[in-house]
Each structure stands twice: as structure tokens, then as C-alpha cells.
Structure 1
Amino acid sequence: MGTGGGMTLTRRVKFGTHSVIIVVAGLIALGGLMRPSPVAWGADTDSPVPSGAGEAVRLEPVVVSASRVEQRLRDVPANVTVITREDIEQSPARTVDDLLRQIPGFSLFRRSSSLVTHPTTQGVSLRGIGPSGVSRTLVLLDGVPLNDPFGGWIYWNKVPMESIERIEVARGGGSGVWGNYALGGVINIITRRPEARVAQAKLDLGTRDTVDADLLVSHVTGPWGISLEGSFFDTDGYKIVRKDQRGKIDVNANSSHKTFNGRMEYTPSLNSSLFLAGSFFREDRGNGTPFQNNETETGYIATGGRLKTADGSDWQLTMFSHLQTFSSTFTSAAPNRNSETPALNQFDVPSTDVGLNLQWSKRVFQSHLLTAGTDLRWIDGETNEDATFSQALGEFTRRRKAGGEQVLTGAYIQDIFTPAPGWQVTIAGRLDTWQSFNASRVEKNKQTGAITPTSPGSFPDRDEFAFSPKVALLYHATDQLSLRSSFYKGFRAPTINEQFRPFRVRNDITEANPDLDPERLIGGEVGADYAIMSNLLGRLTAFWNEVKDPVVNVTKGIGAGAPVAPCGFVPAGGVCRQRDNLDRTRIRGIEAELEYRPLPRWTASGSYLYNHTEVLSAPNQPDLEGKRIAQVPRHQFALKLNYTNPALINVSVQGRFVGDQFEDDLNSLKLGDFFVVDLMLSRPIPVPGATAGELFLAAENLFDRTYEVSRTADGIVTTGTPLLVHGGVRVRF
């Protein structure tokens, strides 16, 4: 299916802690009671028989992320990367975001792993379209939005790696059918479906007292299928402030999370199916000093089904809901970092959302594949927090409550038209509405109960509309060469978090802005996929995007131990920023990918991204014009070499380069470039009573390279993931 950093090379025929250990042992014992499955580890029951020694025909994947309907990868007029189950098992990554970093252009707001970073810095961007805590890319879990309803970031740890079947990464504007968040593209995480009498366990232990365990059982009987999974992760983490700047308050940034997933399916016929899925997730983090931590607890449920009718129509319905609570504390550090003072306590940030999607598709006259649908998402969230700590009183003196509700609705239609052999035209359009209502911000003096003068109270209701068209052309010039192009518009509504929740990073304060306008994107791309030889595939894409009213963190003033509007008191050396709309930014670039199989056991691949970003117009901050967009490197590349020999050892080596970038909008805080190497070794082993077993050993940042993740205005630098070594065993019954 795919190897080597996620590219898919298609070989075409002519026509185309103790408790954890105890639980793992219990699962193994349970698996021993089940009838062994005939499927080997990592195999696919639909995979063809090898055609020769060490060589197998590779089936071309079917993807849904680009167009919301199933298409062969070669028939998608977009740059889509498929990360397969094989790729996941060859990677040392323990979180989805670290896995996706092998794709140039994928980035979070910060360069560090979600293992140790604050969740509000885990918004994802593709192709440098405005990285920040909120995502400019839609992330789906089995077709359901994974973007946090309150803030738009992603809890990557919600999805255990062992549960994933494949990940589709579709770059380029996707709002034409997907709507909100899909400015830079769509990431669709597809989990494993229930299988007959299967039990699977993984135990992974590593440096820094890290434990990663996963337990999964599933069964199918008749039309019914069920799967249950439990996952546990805990690490002591590491100190994130640069070594020469640390003081007494600098401790390890640690994290722990637990996940439980369940899914039930009912498939009475080939033309109909129903499902019910749910999960529970809890995460606890220490954020690098004794008094900075955050907690999240969330539940999720989804249900729906699919029905194919006699006239050829395919109907799909999905309904879902998330219920979440979040808390986080922030402090102000002394210049010598030997003491800290409470600065902000967000003790309760609840949010709820309910959503649905109804979609119809049908092939008409053989040359038209029509799709139409509608979706809705209602979101309710608020932040309850204490601010302005009094040393004399030993407590916070202000209490703030801010939040509101949003409703996003959309309707879309798409025609995938094949006018002649080798040609495909895709025309899509979507109308979205965004409503913000019941919004308020109230601040009270905790001692007197008086409303503070800066508290605006309620905000007026708002309505916005957006039309997002897309036109794409695909031409299969030969069996080896395909040419593609597309033009699109996109839309992203500001989140409740951006409108109402301020935050703090050490002494730098960022204020919310209730008056934010939606972001709108216009862009296009051209590309080619070329099978240069039967074992060498190349892909090249050039893209251009402009974003109107992008939401960025705009610098409002430098702190001097005095108030700075609109942030209030800002410590000396700190910065006051506020989320604000600029007028226009531009992002242009080139993506190039190669994959080469010189021998059946060897695969080499490489990918490169050149990304030129610029603030074109910023009347509210003219100093930003001509500056690069913060947090976007100009150059990125990844190299990967795989050797597969189950009788001896499987080896995967990956190198990743990220160019220099700027921390801030003024381009005054530069983060240097870096290159890191990761290594993965594995070998199948016999396990009594099991159908498959595997030992593995991995090293992340093999040469322990120190690289910068963030830099504050007072010069404090945080660093990225150091050398981490871990290994363990997988067993499948």
C-alpha cells in the first residue's frame, strides 16, 4: 500500500508500571482463549498472493479525504499522502502528530511534540497557512471532526496509534465540500474496523520513565461487530527551558493520559450498515514549572449509517457530540527563574458540541458522480478564570467569565465529471453560515463583587456567510504521467477561544478579541505525478494561496511592569499581544516527493517543501507588511530509508530538516534550523498461541540534537525533544 514517509507507490498491472503489565498479561491470556486468526501481523485479508520472491503486487488505495466520496488515489486531483499501517509500524513516533511530521508542510503552532506541549499550542497547519493554536486544517476521526470545539486545536493523544488503519493527508483548499477549518487541507484518520476473534496488545517502555500500553479486542459474529480498546501513557518528560537559562522552578514537563474507545457495527447486508462509537479521554500535564499544569477530560459519542438504494444512490448519515472540561494555570517567573507567581488560573473551561452530516451520492450516466450534502455543528463554551494575583492578599482579585455559542451550517454539491477517457473535471461549491450569539464577558472584583470598568458585558449577535467553490482538472496523459490543477476558495470562522479566552506564555500575554472576522482564502495549485520507472515515482506540486483577514497574534506593546492596553499589567520584559485580523497574507511554494525501490527489500524516499510567506497588507499594524508569517519555516525536507527482512531485522531510518523561522509577527525573535534523525528496529518473534508477535526498539532524535522550539521577548528559549529511547513488544492472537 505505501512506505517511505507516506508516499504510495503503486505497482500497476497492464490494466491498470505494574498495573499496566498485569492488564497486558490479562489481554494475552484472553487472546489465548480465542480461536487464532489466520491473518499474520500487519497482513490484509484482501492482499494478493506474492507474484514473486520478495515482491508483491501493491493495491492502489481508495481515499475519501479530498472529495468526501471514495476514489482511487490516482483519480484524485490533489496532492494526497496516505500513511498506511505499515508506515505506522515502521515509525518510532508514539503520537499522531510526531508521525505526521514526516510530511513537510505539516506543523503545529510550536515545533515540540504533543507529548510535552500545552494542548492549546497543538493547532495544525498545512503549507504554512497561518500556524497558531487554532487549526487551519480540518482533522477527522473516521469522518467526524477532531478539532476541539472550543479552541480548534487537536488532542493528538486521543487517538492511540495501535487503533489506526491509515491516515489520509489531502493538501490544498478543502472548504468546497468540507467547509470550516479546511483552509490548508484535510487530515482523515481512519481506525481499524472490528475483526473476528482478535486480541492485540502492545507494551512499550522507554527512557524518562515512559510507559505506553495499548489493549484491543474485537469480534465479528454474523452481521454484528464490536471492538474495545484501552490505552495508557505516562512519562516524566524533560525540562523544556534551555539548560543555561534554567532556575529552581524549572522541572520536567510531564504528561499522562488514558483513553477508552468502543465501536459497534451492524451490517445486515452489503447495502446497509449502522454504527455506534464512543470514547473517554483524560489527560494531565505538568508544563515545566511546579505551579503550571493543565487537565482535560472529554467524552465523545457518534452514530450513523449507510444505505445504498436500488436506484444506485448512496446515503450516509453521521451524528456526533463531544462533552469536555479543561483547566490550566499560568505563572509569572522571576528574572532569575528561581521563583514564580500565579498569574492566571483558568479553573473551568467547559465546552459542548453537537453535529451531524447527511450526504447523498450517485453515479449518473456513468460519466457523472454527483454528491450533495448538508452538515451542522452547534458549539457552546466558556472560560471561568481568576486573574490579577495580589501578593499582599495571597490570592487572585479578579474573576472573569467569558464565552458564547456558535452554530455553523453548510450545504454543498459536487460533480466529478469524466468527459473522455483520461480526463476528469471536478466542480464543487459550498455555502456556509456562521452565527455567534449569547456571547458575554464579565469581570468582577472578588473582594467587593463590583463589575470592573473594562468588562464589556454582552456582545451583539453576529451572522456571516461564505461561498467556497472549487474547480479541479485531472488528465492522465499516459499510464505513467498524470497532470492536475485546481482553484479553490476557503473559509474559517473564529473560535470561541480566539474571541474570549486570553492566555499567557511565561511573561508574554495574549488577549482575546470578540470582534474577529472569519478568515477567507483564495488559492490554486498545479502538479504532476510521474512514474519515472516501474520502481521510481515522483510528484511535484506548485501552490499559491492568499488569506484575507487572517487571525494572528499582533504585538500591542512591551511590558515595563505597568499596564499595557488591552492586556492590563504586563511584567517587565514581557509582551502584550492581541488576536486581530490582518488584511491579507500570501503563501506560495513548491512540494516535491520521490520514492525509489531499488530492490524488493529496500525503499528510499524523500520529500521537500519550499514555502514563501509574506504579509501583504496590515493597515492596523503597517510594520508587519513584508514580514514573514510567524512560525513558518521557508525550507523543510524529510529523508527515509527502509530495509525489510522479517527473517533477520526490519530497519527504518528517517532524517527531518526544518529551516529557521520567526516566533513573532515582527520577525524579531528568530528560531534556528535543525536536523534530527529517528531510528526504528523491529523483528517478528514466535509467541505461543499467538498468530504474530514482534519486538521493536526505537530512538527519537538519535544524535540528541538541541533545537529551539520557542523564544519569548525576555530571551527565554525552550527546546525540543531530546534523545528518547523506547522499545517493547506487540502480540496478536
Structure 2
Amino acid sequence: MLFDAPPPPVSAVIVEAPRLPPLAGQEAFSTASYDAAQLGASARLDDVLKTTPGVSLFRRTGSDAANPTIQGLSLRAVAPSGAGRALVTLDGAPQNDPFGGWVIWTALPGESLSGATIVRGAGAGPYGAGALTGVVALRERAVGGGLSSLSVQAGERDSWRAAGTLGTDHVLLTASGSRTDGYRPVRGAAAGAADVPTTLEDGAITARVQGEAGGVRWAARMGAFQEKRGAGLFGAKSNATGSSLALTVAGDRWRLQAWTRSSDLENTSAAVAAGRTATTPANDQYSTPASGYGLNAAWQDKAGDWSWELGGDVRATEGRTNERFRYQNGVFTRQRTAGGRTLVGGVYAETAYSQPDFSVTGGARLDGWRSYHGVRRERDAATGALTLDAAVADASGTTPTARAGVRQRLIDDTWVRAAAYASFRPPTLNELHRPFRVGNDVTEANSALKPETLYGVEAGLSGEGAVAWNLGLFYNQIQDPITNVTIGVGPGTFPVAGFIPAGGVLRQRRNAGEINAYGLEGDIAADLSPAWTVRAAFSATHARVDGGGLAPQLTDKRPAQAPALTITAGARWRPLQRLSLDADLRYESKRYEDDLNLRTLKAGASLDLRAGWALSPTSEIYLAADNALNTDLAVAQTADGVTSYAAPRTVFVGFALRR
């Protein structure tokens, strides 16, 4: 968690947040980097990160319309999850939700960032728990520089957004807000009175104060967010709120950070009547208070061509969901409280040897994990009588992980690299304790879940000349992946879950055997002329589940929501000094909606267009069209065959300032 990419060169009056640089040799792992201009080019940060193939939320839906509980990020199409199988950090502090592991992207406006580094696969070392498929290490802008970024845009469906960052000598302030009347995910003949737009109103504010005393740099960062959403079904909505605080002190060779996060989620779901003529309330998750706390430390040193880092971290979470369910005769008849606590901590050591044409790095860490004080109680809403008091056993264990990599120059600007790694992710409070419902589909919790572990190897070639390119092969195996396993089909009444209506299915989170995946990934970028810039990237992944004895029905199935092929491409043309024209394409092969591969989401592509006119070297006005060809990109499908789609074409105008 302490590894961050080195900051770009800055002037003397601009001061970065306290960080330690990464050890030499990190280029041996599969990485992708973004600068401030790229991160601020889209209204939602997850849309920018998805230009790296294989990077996605659980579904194709972007964070502008996705329910908060499925906004977790995964790297590579190995096994996407709503909780996310990647760790997201901001200057070392985890940004994943303490209850569910997902990321509230509203709290991370791109305007506030100076850069990001994606490390795929190699999630051990300084990152620790949660970095199963890798890490996204975000870096916040430096203080100083006055108004360093400003974005204002307005578009169709009464949509608008504004965000800005202001810095003084010792303070950085960022604020953002947006709203939209949204769109209906279910469209055409299948839509009914049950289907309404996915609305959004959100806002976030952060402040970082920093300074230096006696050669020690220090910083305090505070943030808060809120987002209100309509889920696309009548009566289904959510309200997510949260705050964070991180305190950091650092010297030339050491760094210490303490952080805390709190969040709350109100989330209502609805059951859909036959023909989608109406909805009835299915669940009212009226409060989900959760808190996370952490401490991390690192010390670096070097001697000649050798460098090393020693460190450790600890994270704790606690939270409960409070909800009403089983809607009968116009009222909810049951109440549920479920939750608990988790604790994970580890120590690590890494070393690297680096010369101009060769580098090698390796390290190991040991983590202990614990889930405890779990509870799941259900009561009759009218009488308060206890109807369920599930026995939730404590669990604990230790997990060793390691990683190693080597990089060698072949000729001129051509390099070869190879790496091997192991990483792990313990289950979240949400996965352990909270069941959930989407339409008529119900997924049960499982307090007996154990951590997922990933083992991987990869090798690649890269070029750093006028044409920058990368090509790599990888093999990953996830053992004990937490999977939503189908255990029943409606109509019918089941233990604990109760009645599942026709067209619905019952699933439970389980550690389902293992997932084996191998793939080929690559990217290329070039400035063809002063006027033309192009880039392209792809990720091809063959992933299959081995359900073993616990879920044999999943054997040889592709993991749900994992496409076999993703391609992204982009081009910029500057026919005039002030005029820039951009086109960005993303293509995905088909996905499966469910674990049994019975519901198919067709392959699809989306083209985004943008025209900008520079008012000055640092500002522009622009006209843009997302999904310019108005294609229907399938994002979900119910058991009775009703498909939901991503956003239709959206045209907007805006102003952007970047310094």
C-alpha cells in the first residue's frame, strides 16, 4: 500500500504530498500510467481507467449509473466482482469501502489528481490485503499554483457537472458536484411501468494541509462525499455518504501514515411484476454504518546498486447493515441486523538491484487476518420476536505472499521482462454477512467464506522509442474465489432466503474451487506527426472455473462478467493550432451475466467523440458525444430474458482549465 509512482518534476513553489519513491525494478511488472491531463479528461475516473483493457467495474455500467455495491474495480478479465479484486490507494491510503470493498468514484474527481499507476497482477509486497488482481495507485495534486484545474459541463437529460482544485502554499482544496436525469436501462418493447431513469446527484469536497518541520514533511487530508441515485426501477434508489481522514509524516527514507474512513449506505430494492407492469418493495437497507482504520509504515535505504524497503500495515473494519424485508400486504414484515468486524495486518521486505541495462527485484510478506464478532439476527417487524439468530463463528489465519521480477535490455530501446507473484483478498463484511436482492434474484451471504489467493506468472517485451509498445503473456490462478453460486430457481420457498418468485434465482456466495486464466495483452502509442497521435490496446483472456466438489456445476464455465477480448483505441488530430479532434473506441466480446453461463450479454462497442477549441495554452471549450453512434451495449439480463443497457448517446458542452 505504500508504493506510489514517482511524482513528475515540479517547480520549487509546488509541494507534493509526502511519498516515498518506488524501489528500482518495478518495471518488471505489468503497469500502465496516466498523467493529470488524461485523468481529468472524463467526468468519471473509472471511465479513464477503463481505457486500459481488462480494467472494469463488475458490469459494463459506468459509475454514473451503477449501484454503489457493484463499483468495485478489477484488473484483467479474470473474475470481476462487485466488491472489487483490486486495491485503490490515494497517496498510500486505501479508498475501498470498509463495509463492501467497492469504490465510491464520486469521492475521487480526476481534477484533483496528478497521476495514477496501475500495477496488474503483482499485488503483494507493499500493497497487502485486497490487491488480488493488482493495484491502482493514485497521486493527488501538489499544493500551490492557485486554481490548477476547473471543469464545467452541461448536456442532455438535464445533466451538468462542475469540479475544481485550488492550491495555496500549504493547502489544496477540491470540490465537485453533478446531477443528471439519467436514462432508462430497459428500453424498447421490453420496458414497462416498472422501468424509470437512473438518476444521480452527487458531491464531494476534500482539503489537504501540509508543511515541513525539522526536515520532516507532514500532511493531513480530509474528505467527504454524498451521492443519491435512482436505480432504474420504480422505488429502487440509494444514498451513499462517507468521510475520510489521513495523516502522513515522512522523511527522506521513511514514511508513516494513519487513516480512517467511515461510510453509510441506504439502498432500497424492488421486485418486478410479470410484464414489468409494476414493482413492489423487496428490501429497505435503511442504514449501513461502517468504519475502517489503518496504519502503515515503511523505511527505505540503498547501498550502491542495491536498494531495499521494509514495512508493515494493519487495517480494521467494523460495520452492520440494518434493513427491512419480506414485503407482504403493504408492509415489511421482517427486520435484519447483520455485520461484524475484520482485522488484517502484515509485514514485508523488498529488495532490488538495478543497473542501466538490467534490474531485478523481489520481496515477501506475511499477513494475519481475522473476522470476528459476526452477527445475523432477524425479527418479526410487528412483534419484535426473534425469527433467526444465526451462529456466526470467528475465523482467522495467516497468508504468506511474495513477488519477484527481472528486466533486461535486449537492444537499444527494447526490453524483456518476467515476473512471478502471489496475492490475497480476505472477504468483506458485505460478503460475509449481508444478503442482497436485484429484481427477483436473491444472493445469500456466507459467514464461512475464507480469503481468495492468486498465483501468477507473466513475461513481456516492450519498446520505448518513438513508438512506445508493450506485449505480454500471463497466467493467473485464483484459489477459493468468492463466487455467487446458483443454488435454486423460483418459484419456490427456500430456507433462510424465503420465497423466490417465478423468473428469479437464488444464489449464495461461496469459495468455488479455482479459476484458471491465461492471456495476451498489449498496447501501442505513437505520435505520427505534430498533428496526429494514436494509441491502441487489447487484452485477450481465456478464463475457466474449476468448481471442484463444492460447485461442480461451474466447472469449465467462464466467470460471470468476464469478457474474452477487450480492445481500446484512440486518436487525436490537431488540424489547427487551437483545434483538437478526439475519437475513442472500446470493444468487448460477449460476457455471461450468470455463473452458469445461461444468460449472454452480446458483444458491443462504444465510440466517443470530442472537439476542443483552445482559448489559451491551459484552457479550452469543447463539444463531446459519448456513445456517438447510439449503440445498445448490454449490461445485465434477468432470468426471464429482459436486457438492460448502458447509456444512450449523450451530447454535452464544457469548459476545462488545466495547469
Tell me if TM exceeds 0.5. yes
Per the alignment, residue 223 of structure 2 pairs with: 279
CA distance in 2, matches of 1:583, 1:131: 16
CA distance in 2, matches of 1:126, 1:655: 19
Gaps of at least 5 residues in structure 1 are 1-7, 9-42, 48-61, 309-313
**Taking structure 1 as reference, are residues 646 and 100 closer, same or farther at Cα in structure 2, changes over 3 Å only?**
farther
Give a deviation string over 1:587-642, Cα, whole Å, max 9, x none: 11010111122212311111111100001243122121111111111011011111
CA distance in 1, matches of 2:11, 2:53: 31
Give a deviation string over 1:635-693, Cα, whole Å, max 9, x none: 1101111124673301211111000011111111011001111112212215xxxx843
Which letter maps to 1:510? T
Give a deviation string over 1:365-423, Cα, whole Å, max 9, x none: x12111011111110011111111111xx2111111111011111111000123x6522
Q: Secondary structure at the match of 2:60?
A: coil
Per the alignment, residue 30 of structure 2 pairs with: 79
**Taking structure 1 as reference, are residues 45 and 138 closer, same or farther at Cα in structure 2, changes over 3 Å only?**
closer
Per the alignment, residue 455 of structure 1 pairs with: 389
Tell me the CA shift for residue 45 of structure 1: 5.3
Q: Secondary structure at the match of 2:126?
A: helix
Aligned with residue 525 of structure 1, among 455, 458, 473: 458
Per the alignment, residue 17 of structure 1 pairs with: none
Tell me the CA shift for residue 268 of structure 1: 4.3
Q: Which moved more, 1:291-300 or 1:635-644?
A: 635-644
Q: Secondary structure at the match of 1:497?
A: helix
Tell me the CA shift for residue 537 of structure 1: 2.1
Confirm or deny that 1:239 pairs with 2:188: no
**8 Å Cα contact 1:251/1:290 also seen in 2:** yes
Tell me the CA shift for residue 71 of structure 1: 5.4
Q: Secondary structure at the match of 2:430?
A: helix
CA distance in 2, matches of 1:450, 1:178: 45
CA distance in 1, matches of 2:93, 2:292: 12
Per the alignment, residue 503 of structure 2 pairs with: 573
**8 Å Cα contact 1:177/1:428 also seen in 2:** no
Give a deviation string over 1:20-46, Cα, whole Å, max 9, x none: xxxxxxxxxxxxxxxxxxxxxxx9756
Which letter maps to 1:341? T
Per the alignment, residue 33 of structure 1 pairs with: none
Which letter maps to 2:477? E
Per the alignment, residue 65 of structure 2 pairs with: 116
Per the alignment, residue 723 of structure 1 pairs with: 649
**8 Å Cα contact 1:646/1:683 also seen in 2:** no
Percent identity over the alignment is 31
Aligned length: 650
CA distance in 1, matches of 2:401, 2:658: 46
Aligned with residue 311 of structure 2, among 342, 364, 373: 373
Give a deviation string over 1:453-505, Cα, whole Å, max 9, x none: x431x422211110001111111223311111111111110010001111111
Tell me the CA shift for residue 203 of structure 1: 1.4
Q: Which moved more, 1:171-180 or 1:316-325?
A: 171-180
Per the alignment, residue 282 of structure 2 pairs with: 343
Confirm or deny that 1:307 pairs with 2:251: yes
Which letter maps to 1:723? R
Which letter maps to 1:446? A
Aligned with residue 628 of structure 2, among 702, 717, 724: 702
**8 Å Cα contact 2:182/2:198 also seen in 1:** yes
TM-score w.r.t. length of structure 1 = 0.86
CA distance in 1, matches of 2:134, 2:164: 32
Which letter maps to 1:241? V
Per the alignment, residue 609 of structure 1 pairs with: 539
Q: Secondary structure at the match of 1:178?
A: coil
Q: Secondary structure at the match of 2:317?
A: strand
**8 Å Cα contact 2:544/2:557 also seen in 1:** yes
Aligned with residue 442 of structure 2, among 493, 499, 509: 509
Tell me the CA shift for residue 84 of structure 1: 1.2
Confirm or deny that 1:267 pairs with 2:267: no
CA distance in 1, matches of 2:415, 2:628: 38
Tell me the CA shift for residue 289 of structure 1: 2.2
Give a deviation string over 1:136-185, Cα, whole Å, max 9, x none: 11111222111111111111111112112112111113123311111111
Per the alignment, residue 22 of structure 2 pairs with: 70
Aligned with residue 128 of structure 2, among 167, 179, 203: 179
Q: Secondary structure at the match of 1:730?
A: strand
CA distance in 2, matches of 1:199, 1:185: 30
Aligned CA RMSD, in angstroms, stands at 2.2
Per the alignment, residue 432 of structure 2 pairs with: 499
CA distance in 2, matches of 1:186, 1:437: 27
In the TM superposition, what are the counterparts of 1:407-556 in structure 2 within 5 Å?
407-418=343-354, 422-452=357-387, 454-456=388-390, 458-531=391-464, 534-556=465-487
CA distance in 2, matches of 1:428, 1:377: 21
Tell me the CA shift for residue 331 of structure 1: 1.0
**8 Å Cα contact 1:663/1:671 also seen in 2:** yes
**8 Å Cα contact 1:422/1:475 also seen in 2:** yes
Gaps of at least 5 residues in structure 2 are none
Per the alignment, residue 32 of structure 1 pairs with: none
Confirm or deny that 1:192 pairs with 2:144: no
Which letter maps to 2:428? T
Q: Secondary structure at the match of 2:189?
A: helix
**8 Å Cα contact 2:77/2:564 also seen in 1:** no
Q: Secondary structure at the match of 1:127?
A: coil
Per the alignment, residue 593 of structure 1 pairs with: 523
**8 Å Cα contact 2:177/2:204 also seen in 1:** yes
**8 Å Cα contact 2:23/2:352 also seen in 1:** no
CA distance in 1, matches of 2:512, 2:496: 17
Give a deviation string over 1:191-218, Cα, whole Å, max 9, x none: 2111143364321111111110113321
Confirm or deny that 1:253 pairs with 2:198: yes
Per the alignment, residue 126 of structure 1 pairs with: 75
Tell me the CA shift for residue 243 of structure 1: 2.0
Give a deviation string over 1:407-446, Cα, whole Å, max 9, x none: 111111000123x652212111011111111111111112
Which letter maps to 2:61? S
**Taking structure 1 as reference, are residues 241 and 182 closer, same or farther at Cα in structure 2, changes over 3 Å only?**
same
In the TM superposition, what are the counterparts of 1:286-305 in structure 2 within 5 Å?
286-305=230-249
In the TM superposition, what are the counterparts of 1:202-221 in structure 2 within 5 Å?
202-220=151-169
**8 Å Cα contact 2:262/2:291 also seen in 1:** yes
CA distance in 1, matches of 2:31, 2:149: 30
CA distance in 2, matches of 1:69, 1:397: 56
Per the alignment, residue 228 of structure 1 pairs with: 173
**Taking structure 1 as reference, are residues 353 and 88 closer, same or farther at Cα in structure 2, changes over 3 Å only?**
closer
Which letter maps to 1:448? T
CA distance in 2, matches of 1:228, 1:417: 39
Which letter maps to 1:148? D
Q: Which moved more, 1:79-88 or 1:436-445?
A: 79-88
Aligned with residue 95 of structure 2, among 127, 139, 146: 146
**Taking structure 1 as reference, are residues 197 and 125 closer, same or farther at Cα in structure 2, changes over 3 Å only?**
closer
CA radius of gyration, larger in: 1
Per the alignment, residue 30 of structure 1 pairs with: none
CA distance in 2, matches of 1:254, 1:471: 46
Confirm or deny that 1:664 pairs with 2:594: yes
**Taking structure 1 as reference, are residues 557 and 361 closer, same or farther at Cα in structure 2, changes over 3 Å only?**
same
**Taking structure 1 as reference, are residues 605 and 336 closer, same or farther at Cα in structure 2, changes over 3 Å only?**
same
**8 Å Cα contact 2:546/2:552 also seen in 1:** no
CA distance in 1, matches of 2:335, 2:277: 28
Tell me the CA shift for residue 694 of structure 1: 1.5
Confirm or deny that 1:388 pairs with 2:323: no
